[in-house]
């Protein structure tokens, strides 16, 4: 409620600056949430790719690019937090302005370009368990989203380097080949190149003492043939799961015309329907053989429930926090639990893919 009252003031601040202020506030321990989160009801407990989640709601990559505020975000009630996208070497990202808040559309356009401090800085932060890092025993799951540096021509080498630098700290790892803001990145989703990339990254993962699950994050703007190829590669390669989906390069006709021409990935409410449709399609194609994390436009419990019914084992959000604030996490969990129980599901697992049955 407090956040909603303050939002008209927040909305006047440049979007990237507002994001930076939020991260700094969390690092300082300022109380951005709505009190101590209530214990999660048992119906929300979930298991996926060998990991147990206290609830299925996670923070998507992009908010905490450098692994600075994992513990505070888990403290808001998320069942898991995904940091990154992180690249082996630090990079500044694309020129500013590069982040746009579309308040009328409850949407965000970004062309950040994997701006981050690099894998070594993240590894040091996570290893030392600094304030805002991930101290041992913190409740919740940590995912690390890996990317490649803009000027790197050997993509596999960068993803392998990311695994080597950060694999020891991750509960799961993500290969991000679906951001629209790094030139040529989405071309890595082509079948032959994707097979080769996954083989290299899996070999690096298997060389670790502890072998975290490896997931692939895909774009929503896929042609029929691309969907078929990705589904086949995902099942055949030994991947542990998929994340569906990243931001879209599409621009719906009703989008605020002041921003419709901005390059970059669109997220938030306009992404919900296309990303959920792709989620259901990929679930059918892989015949439920791999867990899927559903992300894109989730802003309430009904949205999260729709993702699960379409085939998601877990759900992520990010953009809706911009407009609704940190209290959204508890609201979504409460609404989701009520919807599951209303429909007679004793667990999240029982509801997965129920729209297809």
Of 273 and 179, which is predicted with more confidence?
273
**Catalytic pick among 34, 178, 179, 275:** 179
CB 349 within 8 A of CB 313: yes
Q: Say if residue 138's pLDDT is above 80.
A: no
Instruction: Please tell me what DSSP assigns to residue 256.
Output: -
**β-pair partners for 17:** none
CB atoms within 10 A of CB 195: 15
What is d(CA 165, CA 36) in angstroms, rounded to the nearest whole number? 34
The fraction of the chain above a pLDDT of 90, given in percent, is 86
What is d(CA 136, CA 126) in angstroms, rounded to the nearest whole number? 10
CB 192 within 8 A of CB 163: no
Task: Please calculate the CA angle 183-226-205 and round it to the nearest 5 degrees.
Answer: 70
Give the pLDDT score at 38: 79
Question: In the predicted model, what is the mean pLDDT of residues 107-136?
Answer: 83
Give me the domains of the chain, ranges plus CATH numbers.
2-356 (3.20.20.70)
Give the pLDDT score at 31: 67
Tokens of 203: 């070999």
Tell me, yes or no, if 179 is annotated catalytic: yes
Q: Say if residue 134's pLDDT is above 80.
A: no
Task: Please calculate the CA angle 323-53-313 and round it to the nearest 5 degrees.
Answer: 75
pLDDT tens column, 248-297: 999 999 999 999 999 999 999 999 999 999 999 999 999 999 999 999 99
Q: Output phi, psi for 248, to 5 deg.
A: -110, 150
Of 34 and 135, which is predicted with more confidence?
34
Provide the pLDDT confidence category of residue 5 given band limits of 50, 70 and 90.
Answer: low
CB 61 within 8 A of CB 85: yes
Q: Say if residue 1's pLDDT is above 60.
A: no
Provide the pLDDT confidence category of residue 34 given band limits of 50, 70 and 90.
Answer: low
pTM value is 0.95
């Amino acid at each position: 409620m407090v956040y909603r009252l303050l939002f008209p003031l927040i909305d006047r601040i440049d979007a990237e600056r507002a994001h930076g202020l939020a991260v700094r506030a969390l690092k300082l321990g300022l109380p951005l949430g709505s009190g101590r989160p209530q214990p999660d009801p048992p119906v929300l407990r979930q298991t996926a790719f060998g990991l147990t989640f206290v609830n299925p709601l996670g923070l998507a990559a992009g908010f905490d690019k450098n692994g600075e505020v994992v513990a505070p975000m888990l403290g808001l009630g998320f069942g898991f937090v995904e940091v990154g996208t992180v690249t082996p070497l630090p990079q500044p990202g694309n020129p500013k302005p590069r982040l746009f808040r579309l308040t009328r559309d409850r949407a965000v356009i970004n062309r950040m370009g994997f701006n981050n401090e690099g894998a070594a800085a993240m590894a040091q932060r996570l290893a030392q368990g600094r304030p805002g890092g991930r101290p041992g025993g913190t409740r919740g799951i940590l995912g690390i989203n890996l990317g490649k540096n803009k000027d790197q021509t050997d993509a596999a080498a960068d993803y392998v380097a990311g695994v080597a630098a950060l694999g020891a700290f991750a509960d799961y790892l993500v290969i991000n080949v679906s951001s629209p803001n790094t030139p040529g990145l989405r071309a890595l989703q082509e079948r032959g190149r994707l097979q080769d990339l996954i083989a290299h990254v899996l070999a690096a993962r298997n060389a670790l003492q502890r072998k975290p699950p490896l997931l692939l994050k895909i774009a929503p703007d896929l042609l029929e043939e691309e969907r078929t190829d990705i589904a086949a590669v995902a099942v055949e390669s030994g991947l542990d799961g998929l994340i569906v989906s990243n931001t879209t390069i599409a621009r719906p006709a009703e989008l605020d015309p002041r921003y419709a021409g901005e390059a970059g990935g669109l997220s938030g409410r306009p992404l919900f329907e296309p990303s959920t449709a792709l989620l259901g399609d990929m679930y059918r194609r892989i015949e439920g053989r791999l867990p899927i994390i559903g992300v894109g436009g989730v802003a309430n419990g009904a949205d999260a429930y729709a993702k699960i019914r379409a085939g998601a084992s877990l759900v992520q959000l990010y953009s809706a926090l911009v407009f609704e604030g940190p209290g959204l996490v508890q609201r979504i969990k409460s609404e989701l639990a009520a919807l599951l129980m209303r429909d007679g599901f004793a667990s999240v697992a029982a509801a997965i893919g129920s729209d297809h049955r």
